Amino acid sequence: MQVYNTLTRQKETFVPLSEGHVGIYVCGPTVYSEPHIGNARGPVFFDVVRRWFTHEGLRVRYVSNVTDVGHLTDDADEGEDKLAKRARLEQLEPMEVAEKYFWRYFDAMARLGVRRPDIIPRASGHITEQLAMTQMLLEGGLAYERDGSVYFDVSAWRDYGELSRRNPDEQQEGTRVEVRGDKDDPRDFALWKRAEAGHIMRWPSPWGDGYPGWHLECSVMSTKYLGDTFDIHGGGLDLIFPHHECEIAQARGAGKPFARYWLHWNFLTFGGEKMAKSKGSLALSELLEEHGGVALRFHLLGAHYRSVSDFSDESLHASKQGLRRLHDAYAAVSKLAPTATQSQNDPFAPLRARFEAAMNDDFNTPQAIAVLFDASREVNAKLSRAGDTGAPAYAGAAKAFFDDLARDVLGIMGGQAQSVQDDTALLDGLVELVSAQRQEARLRRDFATSDAIRDRLAELGVALEDTPEGVRWKRGEPKGKVSG
């Protein structure tokens, strides 16, 4: 299997550290706001990575963290803690904010068919370990204390810049002169920050009350659960610098060889611009309501993870049509062969080999999907030939093929993914039926009935809107007490 390693900027043969096992750490969300569709790209991709390794017979330990402290609004060492800020705005405890958006995130992931990580460590639950690494770096002469804060001394770490390949000048980008404060070098970054009066999230430390720097949690928690050396570290392209550069410096500085392969997914753009929470992006929850999880998942997997992918109504629509063709072929074979059968002479062996080659070439999901389309074309051609006595056996093999690769590896067919979509279709149908009844009542000028239907739907959280093109509906929060 070949994977593209950001550290070496080339495709390399993947050899796990310990035969038969693979340890993966992926930087997870800062749980302070609604996820947008861009936030789903990485988790969906890594869910497939994980499933592919499992399919290939490896035992995977997949660790993905949740940041609930230490991530400041300017992404560097100044500004307000993102959670504390949200807590202030929503009048909640910071940990209530964390809990709320933790579940928003994982509910959305479940709908996308993303399996829960094996371990979801939280930064606030690993303060002791973060203090220990800070202490080790101080003792090793790679960090210094200034007035209750501890900074990593970048000039003392020769390899700083090895991942991002930034030279010292470029490493200063983003550090604003006015906020460099008490650092010796603007490139230095906080391992531990002194908590000013009024800072809510604070813990005692040898240097006084404070809180950990954002980068530290990942060096600490990945090695705690995967070992000092582990196989794969993943994240979005925007995390290469400074976040991952700092993670490497901290971990290696503390004597841990750290991750061997670094995988970074590219951005999902919207109208050519990176989707970001700060720019009023597309809320994942709304898209899930409208399109269902499978369609979005399929759409995200339709681009290779290292390419930019632009999100638009048209491209999503095209993906949905494609997915429907695959589902139709799957429905046809499932009707003929309710149980999958794979015989010695598997007619799908060549297609399986192509799928496998695509996945083993740096997880080329668009090519793997193209193989599924070829398979569905073959299936349609074969099954449409009437009187083909080989059909049931062939259909069983086709079902085995789709179950194995489209359902279990890509997660875009059958199982839970399918039922989410089926529910959406069912709901669509029911709302359309009820709204047609309301339309008829209006035409009869029976406004009492039409208004009653509209109000009852509103109570259930379905808003009807009369537009020149007809009645449209939208689902939101239930509006009030549901009577009856």
391 binds ligand AMP (CB under 6 A): no
Token pair of 369 as six digits = 């999907």
Among 29, 94, 210, 212, binds ligand AMP (CB under 6 A): 29
CB under 8 Å to 189, separation ≥6 — which residues? 76, 77, 151, 152, 154, 213, 215, 242, 246
DSSP string, 335-394: HH-SS----SS-TTHHHHHHHHHHHHBT--HHHHHHHHHHHHHHHHHHHHSTT-TTHHHH
Q: Which does 218 bind (CB under 5 to 8 A by kind): ligand AMP, Zn ion, none?
A: Zn ion
Contact 22, 231 (CB under 8 A): yes
Binding residue for ligand AMP, selected from 27, 66, 83, 412, defined by CB under 6 A:
27
Is residue 218 near Zn ion by the rule CB under 5 A?
A: yes
Q: Which of 268, 287, 368, 398 contacts ligand AMP by CB under 6 A?
A: 268
Indicate the burial class of 21 (C-beta count within 10 angstroms; 0-12, 13-18, 19 or more): middle
Nearer to ligand AMP, 244 or 399 (CB): 244
Give me 34's structure tokens: 């609604």
Is there binding between residue 396 and ligand AMP (CB under 6 A)?
Answer: no
Among 3, 275, 323, 412, binds ligand AMP (CB under 6 A): 275
- Residue 214 binds ligand AMP, judged by CB under 6 A: no
CB closer to Zn ion out of 218 and 332: 218
Q: Does 117 help bind ligand AMP (rule: CB under 6 A)?
A: no
Listed ranges 26-34, 44-52, 105-113, 325-333: which one lies at the site for ligand AMP (CB under 6 A): 26-34
| Choice between 187 and 264, CB closer to ligand AMP | 264
Closest to 215 (Cα-Cα) out of 140, 141, 151? 151
**Which of residues 27 and 359 has its CB atom nearest to Zn ion in the complex?**
27
Q: Which among 27-35, 44-52, 358-366, 440-448 is the span making contact with Zn ion, rule CB under 5 A?
A: 27-35
Number of residues that bind ligand AMP (CB under 6 A): 17
**Of 27, 133, 254, 288, which lies in the binding site for Zn ion, with binding defined by CB under 5 A?**
27
What is the distance between the alpha carbons of residues 447 and 449, in angstroms, rounded to a whole number? 5
Q: How far apart are CA 299 and CA 375, in angstroms?
A: 19
The CA distances from residue 471 to 208, 434, 456, in Å, are 62, 11, 16
Phi, psi of 71 (to 5 degrees): -90, 110
- Which residues, 6 or more positions from 315, have their beta carbon under 8 angstroms from its beta carbon? 299
Site string for Zn ion, 353-372 (x = CB under 5 A): --------------------
Where do contacts with ligand AMP occur on this chain (CB under 6 A)? 27, 29-30, 38-39, 41-42, 235-236, 238-239, 267-268, 274-277
